[in-house]
Structure 1
Amino acid sequence: MYETSEALSGIAGVTHGFFGRAGGQSTGEFADNNVSLAVGDDPVAVLANRAGVARMMGFDPAQLCILKQVHSNHAETVTTPVGDRMVEADAMVTATPGLLLGILTADCTPILFADPEAGVIGAAHAGWRGAVDGIVEHTVEAMTAVGARRENIICAYGPTIYGENYEVGEQFMADVLALHADAAPHFHTPPGGAPHFDLPGFVEEQVRRAGIERVERVGACTYANPGRYFSHRRATHHGTRTGRQIAVIGLTQV
């Protein structure tokens, strides 16, 4: 139903999960556990899927916080449920027990963070734009602002598109390298082909540069595993639509 990080699983008072497409009520292109209201799926099914995720994690559905993700580098600090407010950001942090932070993806990289000593958690959505613009560092800064310490933070990132399936082209590579010249090792060009980008590798490097030593990869390539995950790029290549999976992390009530 969902995948977990060994490192995060050992933290008392923290629950988390990287969900795939299994287990929900959506049908057709969005089967089964689509959690996005913005892709054309039946809203009744989507809300049921979201509620199921929250309850599986031990939370009331009203405690699940979901952002309006816009491929930014903004991290929002939340102290109360987001509800129907359209908060535009691509990461959330909290030190408030009883909140479940949710990140939606379908190839981008979901990242979960926790400081077990301070009781601070974070969740980030890292597409290439957000990753290049510093979403990881901004999330860590927001966590430290509410009491976390970089050296105590544990991180896990989940199912995402891998480099062998992420063809990006020459201009994309030039644009990224203009901002991060040291990102060159995360590009490779197959013989006779176009450049490919290792998004999760770049994300992990950004996490480690933020001072976080415990980093774990969870799950597999979204593009290469259509039975397990939603993939926007695969759907585009096949002329179909697709849903969004969710990664969640929460502080349980004390």
Structure 2
Amino acid sequence: MTLEIITSDALAPFRHGFFTRKGGASSGVFEGLNCGVGSSDQAEIVAINRARVADAMEVAITELASVHQIHSPDVLTVSQTPLPDDKPKADALVTATPGVSLSILTADCQPVLFADAQAQVIGAAHAGWKGARDGVLEATIDAMIALGATRENITAVIGPSISQRAYEVGPEFLEDFLMEDPDNSRFFAGGTGDRAQFDLPSYGLHKLRSAGVEAEWTRHCTYSDPERFFSYRRATHAGEADYGRLISTIRI
């Protein structure tokens, strides 16, 4: 089966892709293109999947840069590859180095790819609710600017993420967001009982646009499309022991 790669004209002319689960070598709950090194999938199979992504991006596997994601606002500036075997802990990467492909993993959280075509600077961020709230998107923009990008020329695209209708949260979650900013109520709708539905992509778009960059969402819901996407929440609801990770990547 061939790979399925979602792209956006907004990131042209950079080679990039939000990869779906199609076209991979994994089986069982990981069936398809599981690129999660931290998953319990067979390491050699994950390596095959990642090699297929590198081939699609037309880079050596050593040029497919990734980090140990920890739901932080931390950004790694990549000036050379390969990165150390013990991957740096961060949730975003930026570079102005040709031939480097920045990659992040998600399974409901937002994968966000950034580009400044004029300055030839790119970025990639893993933005769940915590990372987005704590500033990973703004920090990625700042790190790109430090490499020569300009805010008005940066474009950001949010890839497949969990949508509001599938993302029910408890009252404490809602209260935390309202304490940060009462206007955050716009990102919540009524759920079952005392629960609410959180609109993660809209929150991400708000954060990006408030930071002064152009932004869009591909409008794909990871939870609602099991044929194409892995989903942590869907796997949890199904009582599965683990789940696959989607990869999103961009290169100069």
Range of TM-score over shorter length: over 0.9
In 2, Cα distance between the equivalents of 1:92 and 1:44?
Answer: 25
Runs of 4+ in 1 over 3 A off after TM superposition: 190-193
Deviation (angstroms), 1:183? 1.3
Match of 2:7 in 1: 4
Question: Is this contact kept in 1: 2:168–2:191, CA < 8 A?
Answer: no
Is the counterpart of residue 79 in structure 1 residue 82 in structure 2?
Answer: no
Percent identity reads: 47
Question: Is this contact kept in 2: 1:65–1:83, CA < 8 A?
Answer: no
In 1, Cα distance between the equivalents of 2:117 and 2:51?
Answer: 26
1:30-77: CA deviations, max 9, x gaps?
011000121200000001100110111111111001110000001111
Match of 1:204 in 2: 205
Question: Is this contact kept in 2: 1:3–1:219, CA < 8 A?
Answer: no
Match of 1:59 in 2: 59
Is the counterpart of residue 15 in structure 1 residue 12 in structure 2?
Answer: no
Structure 1: unaligned runs, 5 residues or longer: none
How does the TM-score come out when normalised to structure 1? 0.95
Alignment of 1:168-207 (within 5 A): 168-190=169-191, 192=193, 194-207=195-208
SS of 1:138 mapped into structure 2: helix
Partner AA of 1:6 in structure 2? D
Deviation (angstroms), 1:83? 4.5
Match of 1:132 in 2: 133
How does the TM-score come out when normalised to structure 2? 0.95
1:144-163: CA deviations, max 9, x gaps?
00100000011111000001
Mean Cα displacement is larger for which, 160-169 or 182-191?
A: 182-191
Deviation (angstroms), 1:192? 3.8
Alignment of 1:205-220 (within 5 A): 205-213=206-214, 215-220=215-220
Is the counterpart of residue 144 in structure 1 residue 138 in structure 2?
Answer: no
Deviation (angstroms), 1:190? 3.2
CA RMSD of aligned residues (A): 1.1
